[in-house]
Homo-oligomer: A and B are copies of this chain.
Amino acid sequence: MAEPQPGTGTSRRGFLRAVGITGGAGAMFATMGALGLAPTAAYAAEKEAPFSAPRRGDFTLQGRGGKPAKVVVIGGGIAGLTSAYELGKAGYDCTVLEARDRVGGRNFTVRGGDTVTDLNGVTQKVTFSQGQYMNCGPARLAQWMSTLDYCRELGVPVEVFTNTNASALIYNETTGMKAPVAYRTAKADVYGYVSELLAKATNTGALDAELTADDKERLLTFLKSYGSLGSDYKYTGTEHRGFSVDPGAAGTPGAELGDIPSLSEVFTSNVGRYFSFEFGYDQAMLMFQPVGGMDAIPMAFAKAIGPDKILTGAAVTDIKNTSDGVQVTYTRNGRTKVVHADYCIATLAPWILARTSHNLGSTVQTALQAVRPSQASKIGLEYKSRWWETDFKIMGGITETDLDLDHIWYPSYGHLGERGTLIGYYNTGAHSDTYSALTPAQRLERAVTQGVKIHGEKYRSELAAWYSHQWKLAPHIEAAWHSMPGGPDAPAFVPLNQAQGNVYFAGDYLSYLDAWQCGAISSARKVVTELHQRVLAS
């Protein structure tokens, strides 16, 4: 369930599926109706995360011992903030050491006035207008994700993130497409021909071994509706494609978009490769975002934790288990300091941690080194006008391409306003690396040149400000996400899934929700629970 690569591999999904089939956790639901989902209170209770937050009262409950301990949390990303927040609620004395100049980690929102220097020493000064922002890292939340529970708990308002839009476009240059096509049009044609073909096979008896007479009748009824087939089960276009002249007043019935491509043309264009994206458990609409920028979440966490508990600009240089706790060394403002605590939760990126001096042992070091960084990047393009809304009637969503910009995101905020900020590329892997090798000016030129192919000259002429963010070049982070052969429970990673002395490890890489904030949250909650149980038992 890594961040999406529409049309590419599904190895993680395959793994999840295998586990789901062999696991017994779904057993009770299997009895609750032919269609599987039992939307009852019992269902809801079961679906709730099993996390039971530590509470101050835990220490006074009969038969329970311990007292809140001192914990140093390394890293002020979502895993670190969750850890400090949950432990802090129960009375633990937490200190968060964050190497960067703000908390959030990859939850990083850029606004006008920000200055960002990358690992190459290249500085970009951001000149976005007031109210315009760009989420460089995570940008969307599925409605089942625990991240939204923290938004509720911390009072972070949310709004819909427009992950899917029938009016957004698809453009596969390499398949010979002469022009982009709207999702609505592409879907109408693909679903139309799929329905026509299956109706034909059904009506000619080719599926008689698979279908009862009732099945056939019901299937044909479905296909007619789904594919907008005529009474002869032929696909000859549909209003689902859109209109070249919109319907209007009497005298203006409108004209459906014409020139329907042939079946071969539709499948040659390969537009269908993007359709299953919207079915993903993690990507299906409805999706959400905090109002005003994703960093509202780390800001709210930091406020709740207490700013005095968080040190930014504090780069850890050494981590040691000691006879009675932990000793963590860091540099801040040019000075070296040491903090002692009972426990440590290390939430650094594993490749950074692997380069940090520690006495956690060689099995830990080997495990850390087995986690490989993966790359992604984005460019924010602020425009003087929202031409995608006025000229194209695209009010959000994502345009998919086979260009090396991968995706164009239209903003999910500021609708109908004067200005707006697109994500001009959100690309991954080799495409991301291509842009990381360029200067910011070169990245802009490359992105805009490609965008013009899709949207015309306004993509260049209306441009007002821009910022490109390559996670590969982000200090103290160096990657967008990661790959872990076999997943987080593979034998190679066992040392990271348990305390090593008084040191715990947390991060989305130690979850099945990699590259999602809720993965970091789930990992932090696991560690918080283990640490708290240990303290209570002490």
Closest to A172 in B: B35
Give the residue among A38, A206, A222 with the most B Cβ atoms within 10 A: A222
Cβ contact within 8 Å between B159 and A159: yes
**How many Å from the CB of A236 to the closest CB on chain B?**
8
Instruction: Write out the residue numbers on chain B whose beta carbons fall within 8 Å of the beta carbon of A122.
Output: none
A207 within 8 A of B: yes
Q: Known interface pairs A247-B1, A285-B165, A286-B396. Does A279 touch B36 (Cβ–Cβ under 8 Å)?
A: no
Tell me the residues in window 132-176 of chain A with beta carbons closer than 8 Å to chain B beta carbons. Answer: 143-144, 148, 151-152, 156-160, 162, 164-167, 169, 176
Cβ contact within 8 Å between A16 and B254: yes
A179 within 8 A of B: yes
Cβ contact within 8 Å between B212 and A201: no
Cβ contact within 8 Å between A210 and B263: yes
**A131→B426 CA distance, assembly (Å):** 37
27 contacts between A and B (CB under 8 A): A17-B237, A17-B256, A26-B256, A27-B258, A30-B258, A34-B259, A35-B186, A35-B269, A36-B241, A37-B257, A41-B457, A46-B244, A143-B389, A144-B167, A158-B416, A160-B162, A162-B286, A167-B284, A194-B219, A200-B207, A211-B263, A226-B275, A240-B281, A247-B512, A249-B523, A251-B526, A254-B512
Cβ contact within 8 Å between B182 and A256: no
Contact of A264 among B19, B156, B212, B285 (CB under 8 A): B212
Cβ contact within 8 Å between B228 and A281: no
Tell me the residues in window 381-438 of chain A with beta carbons closer than 8 Å to chain B beta carbons. Answer: 389-397, 412, 415-416
A86-94, A95-103, A485-493: which lies at the B interface?
Answer: A485-493
**A7→B224 CA distance, assembly (Å):** 10
**A397→B143 CA distance, assembly (Å):** 12
Instruction: Write out the residue numbers on chain B whose beta carbons fall within 8 Å of the beta carbon of A412.
Output: 160
Cβ contact within 8 Å between B215 and A19: no
Cβ contact within 8 Å between A249 and B34: no
A250 within 8 A of B: yes
Closest to A185 in B: B37
A361 within 8 A of B: no
A113 within 8 A of B: no
A204 within 8 A of B: yes
**A23→B276 CA distance, assembly (Å):** 35
